[in-house]
Amino acid sequence: MLQWYIEDAGGGCRAFSEVLVLVCEQPRRIYKRYLPLTWDNKLSMEEVARRKVLEMMREAGVSRNDRLYVCSGNIFFGLHKWLTENGYQWETAKMEGLAHEVAESIFQQQIIAAGFPADIKLEERNYRDYYRQVDAWIKEDPARAKYIKDMKVRCKPDHTRYLLKGNAGSARTCSRCRKKIMPYSPIVHYRFREQGKKKSRFFHPGCSPVKPHKNKLHQVHIHWRGQELQGVVLPAREPLPCMVCGREVPAGTRAVYACRDKEIVFGHPACFEHTGKNNGNA
């Protein structure tokens, strides 16, 4: 069984092709593809990316016995769905190793080949400043406009911008009923742009004007100190001790969050599963 990592680079830059990579660290194998600057077949960006990744998977001979770690970015949402429907072993992951390094390196090689200064590099994942410098370089010469992406074909239909997920630790106000959406409860998040600025609206699931296109909600029911609580599973925002076993839950790993009055109940999902109705009573 091999472990494969799927990562992208350049998605936040308004110029140059996005880079997609499929990487195995042991043995070291690297495959790459580029999204075109534009296309005219009415496919969504997610579908174009999915097809490119499947090309790499076929070339690499990836099997259902292998394990795939896929970047959680929206560009791979269509791939996430396809992998599940076709029985592959996969999970989302934050890329830190070879796949991330390779993707960023290939993206930089692409823009250097176009004439961008080689001494200007991405530092500590400060994408905003890096892409601003790329944008400024593009504007210096009208001839460089040929490197600008077609954002119209990359734009998502409005209904695809609604995401059902677990609310984090802050209460939100529903944009429809104006009532509070409590922490660690189901929430629909709608992202959009208004006059060039990124904005968000939040809804109770029953108040959402459309059925959410994506579902990242992992809801759980647990027993804690004699009460049945409804909570959600989210990546831990900081390392904290599990309230069941006492061991630390590392930041970024999946954790149960629930509210009991003003108390936040937190811990390993497996701990709550194993202790059942005795959670918190020991």
Segment 243-255 mean pLDDT = 94
Does 74 share its domain with 186? no
Is the residue at 127 inside a domain?
A: yes
Structure tokens at 123: 């530092």
First-residue to last-residue Cα distance in the chain:
41
Domain total in the chain: 3
Does 199 share its domain with 175? yes
Residue 181: the pLDDT is: 95
What tens digit of pLDDT does each residue of 23-62 get? Answer: 999 999 999 999 999 998 788 899 999 999 999 999 999 9
Segment 228-246 mean pLDDT = 93
Side chain identity, residue 124: E
Side chain identity, residue 54: L
What letters, b where the CB count within 10 A reaches 16 and e where it falls short, cover 187-215? bbbbeeeeeeeeeebbbbeeebeeebebe
Name 37's bridge partners: none
Is the residue at 54 inside a domain?
A: yes
Segment 64-91 mean pLDDT = 93
Is the residue at 152 inside a domain?
A: no
SS3 187: strand
Does 95 share its domain with 25? yes
Task: Please tell me the total number of residues recorded for the chain in this structure.
Answer: 282
Q: What is the pTM of this model?
A: 0.63
Q: Residue 241 is part of which domain span?
A: 219-278
